[in-house]
Structure 1
Amino acid sequence: MLQMLHEKGLRSEHCYMLGMASIGAAFASWLLSKRLEENGIARADRWGIFIGEWAPTFIGLGNGLRTYEK
């Protein structure tokens, strides 16, 4: 799978940037959900955790793709 992604043009830098962006998106979604929804902080926490779990996935993919770039 990693080889296919590398051949399609995806590079480790792209995945690292997506990982960092997902950290920012997790914080933003938590903050917006906390302030704009009436369901309370529990729902805001779930949104933040859900999006925050993307970061390790993207960083792991970046590490894997780095092996094909060497």
Structure 2
Amino acid sequence: MNSFKRITIDPEICHGKPTIRGMRWPVEVLLDLLASGMSIEEILEDHPELEREDILEALKFARASLSGVEEL
């Protein structure tokens, strides 16, 4: 899954979970926020360190993880 430029996996950050750009923002947390009903705009407003592309890539990464493909 190395085709995702905004997703990093580092054993020293968040126990090796996929995160956004090496920050302590696990992909799963972004998915939880979206699943709770928050819009992308609301997430970005509450967390200005994130970018729209981060959230979109997190969704693509989750989709690729489930389907077993390297990139979408």
The TM-score range, normalised by the shorter chain, is 0.3 to 0.5
The higher-RCO structure (CA 8 Å, 6+ apart) is 1
Higher CA-based Rg:
1
Of Structure 1 and Structure 2, the greater helix share is in 1
TM-score, structure 1 as length reference? 0.36
